[in-house]
Structure 1
Amino acid sequence: MTSPEPLPYGTPDTPRVAVRGEAHLEVDPEIARLGITISARGTDRHKALDDLTRRNNHIIDLLKTHGDAVEKIETGAVTITPQLNDKGRHERIRAYRGHIHLTATVGDFTILGELTTRLSDLELTRVDGPWWDLRTNSPAHREARRQAVHDAVRRAREYAEALGAQLVALVELADTGAEHPAPIAPSSRSGGSLRGAGYAGAAPAALDLEPQRQSVYAHVNARLTMTPPIL
């Protein structure tokens, strides 16, 4: 004869207590991302594409000169768009406009201000960011989960003690999401975007960028058994 399935709720002899554990940490960021948009425009398709390629290669070379401080360089969308003449009854192409979008991930914040300034000083280059973030395997996520579990046990113990009882065993622990907010859009962060028009003269001074602390959350649901209460 098989033993009966355990009940999903407590009994008078083995009461259960269900609690929610939470944790919220404020930690320093570990990486910063820069969005770089390179543009080119010309009346000749090949000339516009050549200018776009030249500027793209120059920026990638600039990023690579910083070695391991720039941890990742990623190319997003590449577009070449003909622009039609608005006047006249016939469609005529008056120019070609091209864009390349890059994302640079920076792990060494000591070069971030100088790098952002140099990129913004380049011809027809837009820089968005920085967007501060944590790495996926950041210890902060693990610490938040640990604190959330401790918070759940502390709450359960307080409920049990209020009834003159003691905790006996953990029945279930459910992770309801240890999450870190996605990077906020540039419009909602200080700094916004910088556009480079290209000009002669001495290089501008490096920006002084202050890292934005990150919020890390963890939530768990826990069910525990306790001794019969004293009522």
Structure 2
Amino acid sequence: MTTPSADDPQPFVPYGTPDAPRIAVRGEAHLEVDPEIARIGVGITARGKDRRAALDDLARRNTTVLDLIKTYGDAVERLETGAFSITPELKEKGRGERVHAYHGHVHVTAELTDFAALGELTTRLADLDLTRVDGPWWALRTDSPVYGQARRQAVREAVQRAREYAEALGTSLAALLELADTDVGDARPGSRPGRVRRFSLLGAEEDDTAAPLDLEPQRQYVRAQVTARFTMAPPRL
């Protein structure tokens, strides 16, 4: 049987040793910030006696919506067209299957950064005939610096908590062994993650211009959580 030397690898001890006791802590951060973007969905509907009439009407209404959104320039960060459909409507009575009319639908999504323009745009869109507006969905950008701020705050809290435990034992931290990111994301107290306020308006029949909606941005809640493990200098108990 050989005696291990000082140069041999030391066995892993998960719970530390009397000469190098370990401490494991958790650090958390909860930030409440203003949203950076708002998304709205616009559903455009058209109807015609035949397929071509429905398509032409849908194309005209779609162009009207897109042109209106584009007039807001830099306030609109992204504009995308989603689902498109043309559906025949069959007559309820009579022999055989005869098409009574065709219904067309196209969905557009707009992402805005200017919330002052948001209320005016949503009102003007909702004032269009056969147009549905859903939203707004408030959010942060995926690369928002707020997420990094939350992570740094969580790390600082973990270090501070570990120091307080060490000081309570009359010692100090020696080295960081591990830092793990356990949870980063949005948290909305009192609701499920991802739940948002929304409104829906159908096109008005009046010729008068509707007053702009006063939309209050929904505050965003960002959470970060880390676990950290340190070694301490041996305390004198």
Query: Do they superpose with TM above 0.5?
Result: yes
Local SS of the residue matching 1:132: strand
- Whether 1:126 and 2:132 are equivalent positions in the alignment is yes
SS in 2 for 1:59: helix
Structure 1 residues 2-41: aligned runs within 5 Å: 2-4=8-10, 6-41=12-47
Q: 1:203 & 1:183 partners in 2: Cα distance?
A: 33
Rounded Cα–Cα distance in structure 2 between residues aligned with 1:48 and 1:224: 69
SS in 2 for 1:202: coil
Which of 109, 115, 130 is equivalent to 1:109?
115
Q: What amino acid maps onto 1:192 in structure 2?
A: F
Q: Which of the residues 147, 158, 169 maps onto 1:152? A: 158
CA separation in 1, counterparts of 2:26 and 2:103?
Answer: 55
| One-letter amino acid of the counterpart of residue 106, structure 2 | I
Question: Is 1:192 matched with 2:203?
Answer: no
Q: Which residue of 1 aligns with 2:72?
A: 66
| Structure 1 spans left out of the alignment, 5+ residues | none
Count of residues paired in the alignment: 226
Residue identity in the other structure for 1:61: D
| Paired letter, 1:41 | R
Contact residue 132 and residue 183 of structure 1 kept, 8 A: no
Superposition deviation, residue 183 in structure 1: 4.2
**Residue matched to 1:202:** 208
**Whose radius of gyration is greater, 1 or 2?**
2
| Aligned residues of 1:75 and 1:101 also touching (Cα < 8 A) | yes
Q: 1:5 to 1:94 in 2, by over 3 A?
A: farther
> How far apart are the structure 1 equivalents of 2:143 and 2:153?
17
Identity within the alignment, %: 64
Q: TM-score, normalised by structure 2?
A: 0.90
Deviation at 1:2, TM superposition (A): 4.8
Q: Displacement, 1:205? A: 0.8
